[in-house]
Amino acid sequence: MKLSNILSRQNRILLRELVITDFKLRYQGSVLGYIWSLLKPLMLFAIMFVVFVHFMRFGAGIPHFAISLLLGLVLWTFFNESTNQGMQAIVNRGDLIRKINFPKYIIVISGTISALINLGLNLLVVFVFMMFDGVQIGWSFLLFPVTLVIIYAFSLGLAFFLAAAYVKYRDISHLWEVFLQGLFYATPIIYPLQMVIDKGGDFAAQILMLSPIAVLFQQARADVLGHEYMITASQLSDNIFYLAFPYVVVASVIVLAIFYFKKNQKYFAERV
Residue number, 54 or 98, with CB nearest to another protein: 98
Residue number, 12 or 54, with CB nearest to another protein: 12
Angle at 248 between CA 242 and CA 250, to 5 degrees: 120
In whole angstroms, give the CA distance from residue 146 to residue 151. Answer: 9
Residue number, 25 or 240, with CB nearest to another protein: 25
CB of 269: closest distance to another protein in angstroms?
A: 5
Residue number, 96 or 243, with CB nearest to another protein: 96
In whole angstroms, give the CA distance from residue 270 to residue 14. Answer: 22
Residue number, 57 or 266, with CB nearest to another protein: 266
For 228, half-sphere exposure in the C-beta direction (CA atoms, 13 angstrom radius) is: 6
Residue number, 74 or 107, with CB nearest to another protein: 107
In whole angstroms, give the CA distance from residue 28 to residue 219. Answer: 36
CB of 171: closest distance to another protein in angstroms?
A: 4
Which positions touch another protein (CB under 8 A)? 9-10, 13-14, 16-18, 21, 24-25, 28, 95-102, 168-171, 175, 266-267, 269-271
CB of 177: closest distance to another protein in angstroms?
A: 14
In whole angstroms, give the CA distance from residue 165 to residue 259. Answer: 12
**Contact present, 230 and 68 (Cβ < 8 Å):** yes
The gap between the terminal CA atoms of the chain, to the nearest Å, is 21
In whole angstroms, give the CA distance from residue 26 to residue 31. Answer: 12
CB of 6: closest distance to another protein in angstroms?
A: 15
CB of 184: closest distance to another protein in angstroms?
A: 23
Residue number, 5 or 239, with CB nearest to another protein: 5
The CA R_g of the chain, rounded to the nearest whole Å, is 19
**Contact present, 213 and 187 (Cβ < 8 Å):** yes
CB of 270: closest distance to another protein in angstroms?
A: 6
CA distances from 62 to 32, 69, 225 (A): 35, 11, 12
CB of 138: closest distance to another protein in angstroms?
A: 41
